[in-house]
């Protein structure tokens, strides 16, 4: 389909014969935008190279775990040293408590922690714990928020905030989905109505404090504070899923940035520094209900894996150096300022927003505050923009409903080069527009993008 990348195309054909859809996580297949997926050969700093030897400035960055860039020397060194001492113990080891202390220093609400291997596991653990301590069955989540692929969390509203949940994936029993209530993001009135009706049976409210899985959507002033107050009033556990925002929007995540203290927090991505580690943590009084101290069971053969702990520790240490977080925010701001200018010149309405090292772009005229706004954006143009950028050596998320990521390796020089590539990409689109012909992949992508369910497709 894309003769310019023959090796990638050949690999993907082979992979489709043995891996479902050729991938191990759906979004990597490029189904939302069409075309041959990027097949990575190697990566360093802000760059990723594909099997055909093409180099791309990377704004996917493994979907968040790499705030220092790919293959950072300190992380590589720490992982190699840990590997030489043994790759897994199935027993306690020193780096577990060391990383936990570093996490708690940044997020004081995490008085006690439990490490797991993925964000999915972190959310599942936090939810079971919330149900265990409250003895209540219901949970409340927000439309367009993603908390991994656990059964209870693959649920969004059918229509209207007041309706009870229905499954968003085949294989989730309706009986289970009914225990998940949903409300539109940023809609405190909808939450208030659900709490007044179901509050006594509500175990937890789980939220992405900045949503990053329907594109990037920030919380409106008072939204998270309102959730805190409603949870306090009805006795539900407030869970911040900071798997994406933790250590990225600010050193202490969204909760320290905005000054709202959740009862439990889910972490992942950066906490493992590019290796499989995640965590959940929170008030000691709640966390001690977890096995082996309490009756809520949770366990993992590879939990607290020494290589992952070493990568996480090295990453947090580097991130803690003066100016690193400011640099991430400046990189996002410079990229978005450039894109805003170029898209305005091209006459293309766009809403761009960022916090720290996390950013988003919607082809929409109005600010996007929830899933409805995200879905109303121009996903047809998005697919064309994505492919034009890719052709010019810039790799962005292959879906209109994903956030973007920068790292400390995205220096002003790299960002300037990206903006020059963007200029060429927009010229390419303008030429195609004049010819009135689109890339076949762009056209095919339009239909597919409509079928894409935002927020469940990592
Ligand atoms: C990525 C993500 C998850 C899931 O983490 P996995 O490691 O992919 O299981 C959960 N919540 C949020 C907010 C995420 O961004």
Say what the pLDDT of residue 451 is. Answer: 39
Collect all residues with Cβ–Cβ distance below 8 Å to 103 and sequence separation of at least 6.
110, 113, 267, 271, 279, 281, 316
pLDDT one-digit tens code per residue, 85-124: 999 999 999 999 999 999 999 999 999 999 999 999 999 9
Does the CB atom of residue 327 touch ligand 1 within 6 A?
no
Give the distance (Å) from ligand 1 centre to CA of residue 306: 21
Residues of the chain with pLDDT > 70: what percent? Answer: 92
Scanning the structure block, which residue is given the tokens 């927020």?
455
pLDDT one-digit tens code per residue, 35-71: 999 999 999 999 999 999 999 999 999 999 999 999 9
Residues in a beta bridge with 312: none
**Which whole number is the average pLDDT over 312-316?**
98
**423 SS3 class:** helix
Separation in Å, CA 90 to CA 80, 294, 303: 19, 21, 8
Residue among 353, 325, 330 nearest 250 (CA): 325
Residues in a beta bridge with 238: 205
Does the CB atom of residue 123 touch ligand 1 within 6 A?
yes
Give the distance (Å) from ligand 1 centre to CA of residue 244: 7
Residue among 138, 147, 134 nearest 211 (CA): 147
Give the distance (Å) from ligand 1 centre to CA of residue 11: 27
Q: How many whole angstroms separate alpha carbon 432 and alpha carbon 228?
A: 50
Does the CB atom of residue 245 touch ligand 1 within 6 A?
no
Q: Which tokens is 153 given? A: 């969390």
Residue among 187, 217, 455, 207 nearest 354 (CA): 217
* Structural element, H or E, at residue 409: none
How much is the pTM? 0.94
Domain limits, the chain: 6-70+322-448, 73-319
Does the CB atom of residue 253 touch ligand 1 within 6 A?
no
**Backbone phi and psi for residue 202, each to the nearest 5 degrees, phi listed first:** -90, 120
Q: Which tokens is 8 given? A: 């990638």
Q: Which tokens is 201 given? A: 């049976």
Residue positions annotated with a catalytic role: 146, 241, 269
Does the CB atom of residue 243 touch ligand 1 within 6 A?
yes
* Structural element, H or E, at residue 40: strand 40-44
Query: Is 176's pLDDT higher than 70?
Result: yes
pLDDT confidence band for 250 (50 / 70 / 90): very high
Does the CB atom of residue 244 touch ligand 1 within 6 A?
yes
Give the distance (Å) from ligand 1 centre to CA of residue 436: 40
Collect all residues with Cβ–Cβ distance below 8 Å to 19 and sequence separation of at least 6.
none
Pairing mode of beta strands 40-44, 47-50: antiparallel
Chain-wide mean pLDDT for the chain?
93
Query: Is 3's pLDDT higher than 90?
Result: no
Q: How many whole angstroms separate alpha carbon 291 and alpha carbon 295?
A: 6
Q: How many whole angstroms separate alpha carbon 358 and alpha carbon 349?
A: 21
Does the CB atom of residue 213 touch ligand 1 within 6 A?
yes
Give the distance (Å) from ligand 1 centre to CA of residue 239: 14
Does the CB atom of residue 120 touch ligand 1 within 6 A?
yes
Scanning the structure block, which residue is given the tokens 């409903």?
401
Residue 242 Cα: closest atom of ligand 1: 13
Query: Is 302's pLDDT higher than 80?
Result: yes
pLDDT confidence band for 433 (50 / 70 / 90): confident
Query: Is 422's pLDDT higher than 50?
Result: yes
Q: Which of 115, 121, 146 has the most ligand 1 atoms within 8 A of CB, as the residue to mutate?
A: 146
Collect all residues with Cβ–Cβ distance below 8 Å to 155 and sequence separation of at least 6.
141, 165, 166, 167, 168, 172, 177, 180, 182
Hey, whose CA ends up nearest to atom 6 of ligand 1? 119
Specify whether domain 6-70+322-448 bears CATH 3.90.1150.10. Answer: yes
**Which whole number is the average pLDDT over 222-242?**
98
Residue 25 Cα: closest atom of ligand 1: 8
Residue 121 Cα: closest atom of ligand 1: 9
Does the CB atom of residue 340 touch ligand 1 within 6 A?
no
Are 6-70+322-448 and 73-319 equal in CATH topology?
Answer: no
pLDDT one-digit tens code per residue, 320-366: 999 999 999 999 999 999 999 999 999 999 999 999 999 999 999 99
Residues of the chain with pLDDT > 90: what percent? Answer: 88
Query: Is 139's pLDDT higher than 60?
Result: yes
Query: Is 152's pLDDT higher than 50?
Result: yes
- Given this structure, which CATH class describes domain 73-319? alpha beta
Q: Which of 209, 244, 266 has the most ligand 1 atoms within 8 A of CB, as the residue to mutate?
A: 244
Scanning the structure block, which residue is given the tokens 């999915």?
120
Residue 245 Cα: closest atom of ligand 1: 13
**Which whole number is the average pLDDT over 270-278?**
98
């Amino acid at each position: 389909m894309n003769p310019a990348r023959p090796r990638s195309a050949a690999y993907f054909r082979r992979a489709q014969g043995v891996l479902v859809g050729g991938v191990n996580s759906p979004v990597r297949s490029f189904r939302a935008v069409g075309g041959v997926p990027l097949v990575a050969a190697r990566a360093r700093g802000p760059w990723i190279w594909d099997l055909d030897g093409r180099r791309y400035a990377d704004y996917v960055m493994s979907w968040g775990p790499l705030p220092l860039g790919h293959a950072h020397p300190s992380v590589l060194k720490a992982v190699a040293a840990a590997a030489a001492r043994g790759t897994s113990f199935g027993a306690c080891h020193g780096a577990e408590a060391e990383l936990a202390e570093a996490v708690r220093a940044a997020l004081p609400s995490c008085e006690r922690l439990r490490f797991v291997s993925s964000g999915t596991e972190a959310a599942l653990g936090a939810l079971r714990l919330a149900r265990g301590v409250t003895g209540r069955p219901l949970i409340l989540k927000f439309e367009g928020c993603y908390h991994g692929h656990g059964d209870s969390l693959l649920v969004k509203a059918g229509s209207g905030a007041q309706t009870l949940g229905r499954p968003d994936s085949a294989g989730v029993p309706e009986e289970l989905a009914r225990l998940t209530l949903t409300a539109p993001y940023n809609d405190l009135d909808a939450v208030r109505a659900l709490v007044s009706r179901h509050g006594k049976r509500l175990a937890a409210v789980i939220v992405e404090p900045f949503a990053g899985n329907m594109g990037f959507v920030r919380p409106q002033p008072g939204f998270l504070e309102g959730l805190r107050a409603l949870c306090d009033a009805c006795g539900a556990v407030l869970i911040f899923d900071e798997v994406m925002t933790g250590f990225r929007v600010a050193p202490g995540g969204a909760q320290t940035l905005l000054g709202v203290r959740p009862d439990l927090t889910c972490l992942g991505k950066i906490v493992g520094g590019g290796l499989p580690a995640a965590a959940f943590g929170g008030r000691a009084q709640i966390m001690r209900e977890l096995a082996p101290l309490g009756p809520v069971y949770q366990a993992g053969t590879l939990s607290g894996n020494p290589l992952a702990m070493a990568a996480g520790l090295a990453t947090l240490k580097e991130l803690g150096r003066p100016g690193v977080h400011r640099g991430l925010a400046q990189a996002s701001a410079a990229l978005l300022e450039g894109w805003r200018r170029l898209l305005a010149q091209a006459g293309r309405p766009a809403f761009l927003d960022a916090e720290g090292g996390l950013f988003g772009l919607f082809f929409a005229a109005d600010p996007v505050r929830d899933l409805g706004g995200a879905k109303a954006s121009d996903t047809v143009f998005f697919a064309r923009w994505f492919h034009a950028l890719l052709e010019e050596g810039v790799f962005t998320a292959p879906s209109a409903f994903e956030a973007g990521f920068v790292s400390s390796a995205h220096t002003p020089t790299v960002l300037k080069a990206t903006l020059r590539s963007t200029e060429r990409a927009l010229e390419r689109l303008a030429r195609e527009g004049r010819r009135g012909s689109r890339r076949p992949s762009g056209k095919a992508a339009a239909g597919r993008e409509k079928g894409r369910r935002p927020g469940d497709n990592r």
